Amino acid sequence: MRYELTGVVDVHTHIVPADFPAYPGRHNNHAWPSMCEATCGHRHILIRGAIFRTLSPAAWDAERRIAEMDRAGIGLQALSPMPELLSYWFDPDDALAMAEFVNATIAAMVDAAPHRFVGLGMVPLQDPDRAIDVLQALMRDARFRGIEVGTNVNGVPIGDARFEPLFAEAERLGAAVFVHALHPVGDERLIGPPLLKAIVSFPCETAFAVASLITGGLLSRHPRLKIAFSHGGGAFASVLPRLQHGWKILRPLAQSLSEAPIEIARRLYYDTLVYDAATLRHLVSLFGAEQLLVGTDYPFEIHDRDPLGSLAAAGLPAEVEALITRDNPARFLGYR
């Protein structure tokens, strides 16, 4: 599946299987998901018998996705799991079973339309050794270009040393790593409906994840790691100038980092899903035009239904739009 990308590439989309197998493990109090019918072809995903989310067929129906991609001007989607499927809170055996099932679902969708879809699979990151095994298997499969990971694993930030072997292997293999906010801190301080978690908490959580990878030294030790952050890196664009200033004036931070935080940040990738033209222009200015990727969060409620319109509203030069829509994702996903 080596071919030249000619259409717009969307690196931030999610899938959910149309159904789940029966729980394969041995634990009584498990959170293994199941599905039941809702209305208008939708389905409820159930956790311990309670409705967790109601999903449209777009979450699993390749034909419907392609029709909606065509309407939005998207040529290729990178398919990654709904973040809540990453299952870091499962027993490692259960997490491996979920990873195998979800990755097989993604592979089948890629098979259905190999010139429209590519996979970013999942790994059981609570067990880094098993996670490496799964990553290696995925990277031997031409349907996959890398993996999606959450911002933390049961409260441990991904910049923690215990996860470094996985990122080192991703660097060695040239795997793309897409980071999505998961179980953010600070939810207890939100006032309002549950969706505020995605709107307010996720950007802060993503900023913590980027910072942990920088200040823990992981990104300096693995400068060729291809890693991208959803929603424009969340609040990290506002944190970076403070981190850069601290590195200049605070000796402990300067001693712990061999290179400037802004230099590290400009090696990373960020999607364009920031819902604001001025913010998008700021990301291009701060991180560089070569580091931005189109992302929509399809098919969930807050996804950008007109990503090309969002780019156009930013008034970016044509050569910058070409980088963001094709050249940068081709590099991130290993097509170049």
| pLDDT for the residue numbered 1 | 42
d(Cα 118, Cα 72) in Å, to the nearest integer? Answer: 18
On whether the 8-17+63-332 domain is CATH 3.40.640.10, my answer is: no
Task: List Cβ<8 Å contacts ≥24 apart for 99-105.
Answer: 99/123, 99/124, 99/134, 100/134, 101/17, 101/20, 101/21, 102/15, 102/17, 103/134, 103/138, 103/144, 105/15, 105/17, 105/60
3-state secondary structure of 66: helix
d(Cα 264, Cα 245) in Å, to the nearest integer? Answer: 14
Under a CB-based contact definition with an 8 Å cutoff, are residues 307 and 72 in contact?
Answer: yes
The alpha carbon torsion through 134, 63, 328, 200 (nearest 10 deg) reads -80
185-238 residue pLDDT tens: 988 999 999 889 889 999 999 999 999 999 999 999 999 999 999 999 999 999
If residue 145 lies in a helix (H) or strand (E), which one and from where to where? strand 144-150
248-298 residue pLDDT tens: 999 999 999 999 999 999 999 999 999 999 999 999 999 999 999 999 999
| pLDDT for the residue numbered 92 | 96
| pLDDT for the residue numbered 336 | 84
CA–chain centroid gap for 293, Å, is 12
Under a CB-based contact definition with an 8 Å cutoff, are residues 229 and 179 in contact?
Answer: yes
Under a CB-based contact definition with an 8 Å cutoff, are residues 109 and 79 in contact?
Answer: yes
146-172 residue pLDDT tens: 999 999 999 999 999 999 999 999 999
The two tokens of residue 273 are 């899903």
73-106 residue pLDDT tens: 999 999 999 999 999 999 999 999 999 999 999 9
Domain positions in the chain: 8-17+63-332
pLDDT, average across residues 305-311? 96
Name the pTM for this structure. Answer: 0.96
Q: What's the burial of 194, exposed, middle or buried (CB within 10 Å: 0-12/13-18/19+)?
A: exposed
4-53 residue pLDDT tens: 566 899 999 999 999 999 999 998 888 999 999 999 899 999 999 899 99
| pLDDT for the residue numbered 6 | 67
d(Cα 53, Cα 92) in Å, to the nearest integer? Answer: 24
| pLDDT for the residue numbered 4 | 56
Confidence band of 71 (pLDDT split at 50, 70, 90)? very high
Under a CB-based contact definition with an 8 Å cutoff, are residues 87 and 124 in contact?
Answer: yes
| pLDDT for the residue numbered 28 | 87
User: DSSP string of 256-317?
Assistant: H-SS-HHHHHTTSEEES--S-HHHHHHHHHHH-GGGEE----BTSTT--S-HHHHHHHTT--
If one compares 178 and 26, the residue with the highest pLDDT of the two is 178
Name the CA radius of gyration of the chain, rounded.
Answer: 19
| pLDDT for the residue numbered 5 | 64
Using the Cα atoms of residue 70, residue 76, residue 79 and residue 83 in order, give the sign of their dihedral. negative
